[in-house]
Amino acid sequence: MIDLLVTGGAVLTADAADTYVPDGAVAIADRRIVAVGPAAGLGARFPGAPTLDARGCLVLPGLVNAHSHAAMTLFRGTADDVDLQVFLDRLVAAESAVLSAEVVRAAVRLALAESIRAGVTTAMDMYWFPEAGLEAAADAGFRLVTGPTFMDVPGPPDGLDFAARLRLAPELLARTAIRCVTPHSTYTLDPDRLLAVAELAREHGALLHIHAAENAAEAQTVRRRHGRRPVELLHHLGLLGPGTLLAHAVHLTDEEIGLIADSGASVAHCPVSNLKLASGVARLPELLAAGVPVGLGTDGAVSANALDLFGPIRAAATLHRVGSGAAPDPTLVGARTAVRMATVDGARAIGIGALTGSIEVGKAADLVVLDLNRPHLTPRHDPWSMLAYAAGPADVRDTVIDGRIVLRDRRLLTIDEGSAIEEVEALAGALRKRAGGPSRTT
């Protein structure tokens, strides 16, 4: 017996052969995908199975957000249209003033409601109070990959100094199924601290996720302080390797691209955040040509505002045609590569390619059912094109994570959406009052 048969839709598997089954089905048992194929064959093989009718829909792998700060939903809209330094100053001050485990849990819950509605089933997350984020994710049935966070700022929201945070980290790592540690960057942590965090990651077999080379000012700051550019410094310290995921990686020299590729490290490309903060255009075509695994991230809701991946997919597919400094080239990146970056390549980039990212037997049952009965998704010539250039989060009808339906017919089943919105709106009201701003926006 199986637990669920998602049947009747076109299935885009994103497997190595890009298998597409026009009238397909996916069988799920014990949270895993146990069969993929034509609907008629699977219907006969599993008679009487509970079904999710996907006729008129596209079934695709759950989307993977390779870089996020989920709890920043609380600060969405508070630091728009400013440069990265103003953005960081404003954000860090607000975080120090209001964050607690309870506040993070509420803000993450809202982020997960938004993410599940947008077909995101996994997110790599870096933020304060990671244990609160993990609790919210467990309640929502969402795969949030996060772990101990390290960032030296005046007045950290959790009041912990570096030594205390390092001492507490193993306990959190022992409780997480997918282990990662998230040192913020080479400009907010000194080399000795980066080395200590890397040692922690090694001891626990954890992925090391760090911002690197997001903008030109960062590269200059790190070079001035340490004599090396961010990626050079990470290489010098022995922090680049197959267990390292770099967020952004916008400002790279040819040599640094070579260092990343040779080390086996991955990159989380966040084009919408990079555009909004004018951080620059990442050298994505060169990274891909060098064989670097690249996933797509939203970044936090302060820098990118929306937590769906359709925006980053479209930006990644199109931006690099004019933005890399070379001659304009309409064949660069494109729909298929961008969609694979948001699914199977993203899962690989965050170190869980064997678990999720594609619809294949043995992988976790992470699926999205996209409603195609929409004017902007008609006609159905090419699913890759549709996903990259026309689809949006509102087209997601159902989301399945780890075999569990968490969004059905556009209704969230694991999060009380009304209370999630109310709770964050109340927290945001208190935040505005504290800042002396208007208590109500129009």
Positions that interact with Zn ion (CB under 5 A): 299
Residue 313 has φ and ψ, to the nearest 5°, of -60, -50
Smaller CB separation from Zn ion, 28 or 304: 304
**By Cβ distance, which residue is nearest to Zn ion?**
299
Helix H segments across 46-122? 84-98, 101-117
The answer to whether 107 touches 140, Cβ cutoff 8 Å, is no
CB of 82 to Zn ion, least distance (A): 16
Smaller CB separation from Zn ion, 52 or 342: 342
Q: Which two tokens stand for residue 420?
A: 């999630």
CB of 297 to Zn ion, least distance (A): 7
CB of 186 to Zn ion, least distance (A): 14
The answer to whether 72 touches 300, Cβ cutoff 8 Å, is yes
Smaller CB separation from Zn ion, 232 or 299: 299
CB of 69 to Zn ion, least distance (A): 6
Task: Report helix, strand or coil for 401.
Answer: strand
CB of 268 to Zn ion, least distance (A): 8
The answer to whether 182 touches 147, Cβ cutoff 8 Å, is yes
Residue 277 has φ and ψ, to the nearest 5°, of -90, 5
To which H or E segment does residue 132 belong? helix 130-140
Residue type, 223: R
Task: Report helix, strand or coil for 241.
Answer: coil
Smaller CB separation from Zn ion, 121 or 279: 279
CA within 13 Å, CB half, 49: 22
CB of 414 to Zn ion, least distance (A): 26
To which H or E segment does residue 370 belong? strand 367-371
Smaller CB separation from Zn ion, 7 or 68: 68
Smaller CB separation from Zn ion, 67 or 363: 67
